A and B are shown apart, each in its own frame.
Chain A
């Protein structure tokens, strides 16, 4: 029987979901709909399932998270399930708490300083990997490169969680502390305190916006708007001013191009690799129109933030003000650091890994071990290592082609939100998720559960990611590639978003996501762009059809389909 399970997918030995073993151990396994839709390719899942879980455990250990020893992942045909390792023995909790307090102090004192050092460490690891000339490297060099990429990925995930754990802890604490002032994490007055940060993600957006403005003033706007993605680079190059504009584009990509289109997988390109993918966000800015004022919007949000903070502080007793203010600042890292670290952690690291793995894929394809370089996504590193020393002796098509076929069949299929021994998802969340106090999983990955209020007669209920009401045509969008089709004034309905999607936020009227909580990318970016954002609807993309008129009331957590 266990044999049966392993045969189904078999790509991540030891981490395949096995209900008979895994359910009794941790009781509930929650689907990570934020990161594994569309379902992950085997090569990515192999890294993610191991290293992201390890990073969570590492951070829980070095910080000594009181009630939590990190999560562990299981894979089920590219769907990720999360099991929480909750410390339930109070004596152990007390010990861990004392250490936690001590270990969190350096972060409270110098969050930015510690993050700057870690950022430096990451960038220098990436630089080493980028220095390898993949086509000149020997087969053995490539095996070493594979190992180096694996250890870089592992270290990236170790770094990834520490700043998040601290800043999210501060955010959760704030949520408690503002209750006496009549605020919750869903109230606009609260969310306003975490908007308008001039973080690195936003800086990149601004550069894209500048490029869009340049394209318009250089007469390239129409070409960008009306040419299909695969021809657009050629058309621009032939146009008057085209070469000058491309120079600007390449200068931008040299700095900011190590950025995956899809954050959690290797199977879509990074910007520097395929500049045409950057045209989509630039196009979004052009559609938005020349008078669109990105800076003005951030300025307004930043002013709103200052005002919201001042309003709250005015109510806080004088002697509590200094630490309250410091805590708001630390909690604010959820809005700035949390998006920025994606650029330096996942988006950059995965771009470097994609580069290296494609290099290996080319070598294997050339030797006939696989049919084409990107079949590498359907192998795992163990299988690659087995053949890479002398690939011409081996064939891996029997694995790669079978897995690719299966993946293509199921990549958009719906999977159960939870496997649990509990009565239902509410009980599972209450017993096996919330006690961990891990904000990352509670607020991002699994998200808060929507409150269904039958008296509102909504078609879909969700959680308010950013307040507001909007009405318009729905655009159901499953992948980055489809973003190109989003029109100004649409309401974006998607499984979830990642930082690469941000430019379309400037285009749409509202955003609806299947999964993700109040601290998910979708919610954070929705707040940054001042868009009504409804998250964790679970069934949004399955229920709503492109073109239907819908009304989103994010503030009260409802969605109405107006023409059924």
Chain B
């Protein structure tokens, strides 16, 4: 029902969802992943079954009949109802006990009371940005509430509309939940082991900002950019952005905040950190057998290199195909034309 990340691997995709399986795989590969645990899809199924929600939700959805091509107001209405159905329901006793048991164990492992965690959705299919993630979640009550909110995020208007238009059942997208310890990030960023625009795979690209990774991934702010040559492992280009805003913890959760002026035009990571990140990314690319798109954070409470944590890796999506030189492509085609069968 619930697993530590280190118990998981890519083969558990359908059990715990993609993000959890991925964090497991990364842990196995020796990447520094923040410790944490994963709620399987089965945990969600148990929740809706034992609480009687499964039947109620099915009944509610049936009233609407065929939803294909419906306007957004219908989906909004459904979303509101279904999400509040999920969020207001108690998690059945045995499941609740198990979740809290793992949280306590995590607390013990870290030596911190009520450690801050993030609560992240993990579907079996990759639907980037469709489901919710909650940052800086502390304490038992908050944890349980945010777990339900993640489950309920399978019923945002967008997610319902997506399934309706694809002809999938409205009751669907059962989610796993990843619950890693929150990194107290001084800086976070993303790393590509291939240029996603030009498909140049001789370089590693980094983007970084102060604070949490959400301050980079959202793409809203000017951030720092670095290029490392994959062969020589030297920094071949750097761009220090005017980082006016970043995402930081708030008392509950996380939010955008102003970057103090002296830090705005200062690189948020050191050269040492850049090289280390590039090295790890290169070896991850090798062991995963393809270019990667990775998320990382540098913890301000720990010392380098222990401070570097990896939050996600996935195959890099590249706009252009890998660039084969025009010459060799033409030579290929000519040879095929004149020598092919």
List chain A positions with a Cβ less than 8 A from chain B: 65-67, 90, 93-94, 96-98, 100-102, 104-105, 108-109, 169-170, 172-173, 176-177, 318-319, 322-323, 325-327, 330, 437
Contact = CB atoms under 8 A, between A and B. Distances in A.
A330 B330 contact: yes
A112 B136 CA distance: 65
Contact of A105 (B321, B331, B338): B331
Given A67-B339, A326-B327, A104 B334 contact: yes
Given A96-B339, A169-B337, A326-B330, 16 more contacts: A97-B338, A97-B339, A97-B340, A98-B335, A98-B339, A101-B331, A101-B334, A101-B335, A105-B328, A108-B331, A169-B338, A170-B330, A173-B334, A323-B324, A323-B326, A327-B333
Contacts of B334: 100-101, 104, 108, 169-170, 173
A432 B162 CA distance: 60
A66 B338 contact: yes
A105 B334 CA distance: 10
A516 to B, nearest CB: 23
Contacts of B338: 65-67, 97, 100, 169, 437
Contacts of A105: 327-328, 331
A327 B330 contact: yes
B329 interface: yes
A100 B335 contact: yes
Contacts of A90: 341
Scoring B328, B330, B331 by chain A CB atoms within 10 A of each residue's CB, the highest score goes to: B330
A188 B328 CA distance: 29
Q: How large is the interface on B (under 10, 10 to 19, 20 to 34, 35 or more residues)?
A: 10 to 19
Contacts of A322: 326
Nearest to A87: B339
B328 A66 contact: no
Contacts of B328: 105
In the A-B complex, the 4 residue pairs with the smallest Cβ-Cβ separation, listed nearest first, are: A97-B339, A66-B339, A101-B335, A323-B326
A66 B335 contact: yes
A535 B326 CA distance: 34
A177 B328 CA distance: 17
B303 interface: no
16 contacts: A65-B338, A66-B338, A66-B339, A67-B338, A67-B339, A90-B341, A94-B339, A98-B335, A101-B335, A104-B331, A108-B330, A169-B334, A172-B337, A176-B337, A325-B326, A437-B337
Contacts of B333: 173, 177, 327
A93 B339 contact: yes
A65 B328 CA distance: 17
Interface in B286-341: 320-321, 324, 326-335, 337-341
B322 to A, nearest CB: 9
Nearest to B321: A319
A173 B334 CA distance: 6
B332 A101 contact: yes
Nearest to B337: A173
B332 A108 contact: no
Contacts of B331: 101-102, 104-105, 108
Contacts of B324: 323
B329 A323 contact: yes
Contacts of A100: 334-335, 338-339
A330 B150 CA distance: 58
B328 to A, nearest CB: 7
Contacts of A108: 327, 330-331, 334
Nearest to A165: B338
Nearest to B328: A105
Interface in B274-295: none
A93 B335 CA distance: 11
Nearest to B322: A319
A97 B320 CA distance: 29
A325 to B, nearest CB: 8
B53 to A, nearest CB: 48
Contacts of A66: 335, 338-339
Nearest to A169: B334
Contacts of A96: 339
A86 B340 CA distance: 14
Contacts of B326: 322-323, 325-327
A172 B331 CA distance: 13
A323 B330 contact: yes
B194 to A, nearest CB: 15
Contacts of B321: 319
Contacts of A177: 333
A174 to B, nearest CB: 10
B195 to A, nearest CB: 14
A105 B339 CA distance: 15
B337 A104 contact: no
B324 to A, nearest CB: 8
Contacts of A101: 331-332, 334-335, 339
Nearest to B324: A323
A70 B333 CA distance: 21
A327 B334 CA distance: 10
Contacts of A97: 335, 338-340
Contacts of B320: 318-319
Nearest to B340: A97
Contact of B335 (A104, A109, A323): A104
A230 B340 CA distance: 57
A325 B330 CA distance: 10
Contacts of A67: 338-339
